[in-house]
Amino acid sequence: MRQLDLVVIVLYLVVIAYVGLRLSGKQKSAKDYFVGEGRLPWWTVSFSVVATETSVLTVISVPGGAYSGQGFGNVELAMGYVIGRVVVAAVLIPLYKRGGFVSAYQYLGERFGLKLQGLASVTFVFTRLLAEGVRLFASAIPIKLLLDEFGLNVGYQAIIIVLTLITVVYTYLGGIKAVIWTDAIQMGLYLGGAILAIAVLSHAVGFDGYSQALDAGKFQLFDTNFALSHVLTSPFALPTAIIGGAIFAMASHGSDQLIVQRILSTRTLREGQKAMISSGIFVVIQFAAFSLVGALLWSYNKGQTFKELGLASSDNLYPSFILHALPVGISGLLVAGILGAAMGSLSSALNSMSNSTVADFIHSFFRKVPSDDAMLRLARVMTLVWAVLMAVFACAFSSSTGNVYLTGLTIAGYTYGALLGAFLLGRLVKRANQVDAVIAFLVTVAVMTYIVRYVKIDVTTAGTTTATAIAAQWLVPIGVLITLVVGAVSSRFHPAPETPYDHGRTDEVDDDAAAAPAGRA
């Protein structure tokens, strides 16, 4: 009786919206709407960071990747992510908390000027539109499979629109508090779903199933092939995962407003740092859990290919198991968990894009800043605007058949290097001014667009040579290097400023000072 699955899913959607609104309370200001007046507990923020970055890309793509040959490579990659978060916690979070910012790009405004702040904000929202479009499309995959079980031929576009409408309800009214609290709940649901799947699969395949998966390399953690072509093109080569992954995390968690906004909602500097580092540890655990699901599914299906299983791609593997191998009701609960991952990342993106529009774009390009009440109204309007555009972009990805997790990483490669590079340029090159930073930023985005789209490296495997794109994790370091070099060279064509920007001493930032709201919005 698949009707029970639908009942479970509908109840979940109603309850999560109600809980989000109930916990968030009434929003009184733009600062409250965006960072909860900086008073949210660190552990809730940590869970929200994990839920925001995990999304459906992890839930459905990592098991499929482990099944098809990636092994536990995503766990190796997550180790690099932890290193990157430690650097962000030590270097960048003190800057944001000391300034009382509600946006990461306000630092760029103070260091270089409002034009670069606005440029970074525009770049962020358009990159986020593309990345979240991929994520939102991925969330429609298991729902379509469930509806197909009923003989209902509902297109991806209709599913995307309904899912967006439900998420907008609590995001529009509850702001960041609703987003963070619901993220924490949703993380528990989809991670609990993975643990339940592991228990079911372990019972089904037994010790022999683990042994067979181990012999087939499904538990391989480190990829120690150090051939240059492999290192440059494989996301899971050891140097790519650890070094490239660390720098990628510095960009995604230090210069992407989607994550930084959550950290800025913590009470103190120390709590923000705890939330950042602990989120990395939780991600390692999650990658391990979902990779184990994929390895056990390989034993469960006796190593059949996706084609033999009747699946269109690796991303259909885990949803198909949920719907066909689990008891009715339980499968509905796990699909609800996948929906939770989708809604968590979508609500986070909508709120952060609205935040960046108001806190960065309005301040950068308009001389007269609206009142706080007007800013709060504008924040909610922009939440709706971005929701509509997000759904449109998601529908544009509805013909995708590849691994959506790696697609999402590649999209970030266009701009993450320029964003992180701008922050590092401000920290490392004291004589660089706004013109230098803008030139470096634009040059980097242009060069990275060319690299992502056209640069290929010949990789020979089993006697067959294939032109392969550069691994997504290397795109950020390349972009950072371009930004630093172009900005440093440009800064040599004008006199050094008489009063260089004072970065301040991050070790002097105490918790009380970091916790005090500065009234920025």
Q: In this predicted model, what pLDDT tens digit does every residue of 226-264 receive, in sequence order?
A: 888 888 888 888 999 899 889 988 888 888 777 887 888
Tell me how far apart the alpha carbons of residues 24 and 191 are, in angstroms, rounded to a whole number: 23
Cα 387-170-147 angle, rounded to 5 deg: 70
Mean pLDDT of residues grouped by 10 in the chain (521 residues)?
Answer: 74 76 60 61 86 74 86 90 92 78 75 83 79 75 70 80 79 70 79 88 90 89 86 87 89 81 84 92 92 92 84 80 80 76 73 73 62 72 82 68 55 83 88 91 92 84 78 88 94 78 46 40 36
pLDDT at 11: 83
Give the helix/strand (H/E) hosting 459: strand 456-461
Q: Which of 169, 173, 171 is nearest to 25 (CA)?
A: 173
The structure tokens listed for 277 are 């580092």
Cα four-point dihedral sign 428, 429, 434, 439: negative
Instruction: Check: CB of residue 445 under 8 Å from CB of residue 414.
Output: yes
CB atoms within 10 A of CB 502: 7
The structure tokens listed for 474 are 């290397």
Residue 140 identity:
A
pLDDT at 41: 84
Contact residues for 248 (Cβ-Cβ < 8 A; gap 6+): 80, 81, 84, 409, 412, 416, 472, 473, 476
Give the helix/strand (H/E) hosting 190: helix 156-215
Instruction: Check: CB of residue 521 under 8 Å from CB of residue 372.
Output: yes
pLDDT at 514: 40
Q: How many Å from the N-terminal Cα to the C-terminal Cα in the chain?
A: 51
pLDDT at 189: 80
Instruction: Check: CB of residue 230 under 8 Å from CB of residue 73.
Output: no
Residue 409 identity:
L
Supply the pTM of this predicted model: 0.76
pLDDT at 295: 92
pLDDT at 323: 78
Instruction: Check: CB of residue 475 under 8 Å from CB of residue 455.
Output: no
pLDDT at 175: 67
pLDDT at 290: 92
pLDDT at 517: 37
Q: Residues for the chain: how many in total?
A: 521
Tell me how far apart the alpha carbons of residues 301 and 321 are, in angstroms, rounded to a whole number: 10
Tell me how far apart the alpha carbons of residues 128 and 389 are, in angstroms, rounded to a whole number: 11
Instruction: Check: CB of residue 284 under 8 Å from CB of residue 78.
Output: yes
